[in-house]
Amino acid sequence: MSPQEMLDELESLRAELIGERALASAGGAPENPGLIGEIRRSIARIRTIQKEKGL
């Protein structure tokens, strides 16, 4: 994955996380209760790779 693709994916995941958190805070029942944790882990993986590569 190129550095630009990683940045695009990171931006997309962050937007998705904000939406899921908004849904949860509004009292809505999420379709997948583990989705917030999954998104957070994906963000952490991308950031770890970026730091390893020095981006």
- Please report the pLDDT score of residue 13 as a whole number: 98
- Please report the pLDDT score of residue 30 as a whole number: 74
Which option is the CATH number for 3-53: 3.40.50.450, 1.10.287.310, 3.30.70.2860, 3.40.50.620? 1.10.287.310
Q: Mean per-residue pLDDT for 27-53?
A: 92
Supply the angle between the helices 3-25 and 35-53 in degrees, to the nearest 10. 150
Q: Give CA torsion, residues 33, 50, 48, 9, to 10 deg.
A: 10
- Please report the pLDDT score of residue 29 as a whole number: 76
pTM: 0.86
- pLDDT tens for each residue of 4-33: 999 999 999 999 999 999 988 898 777 888
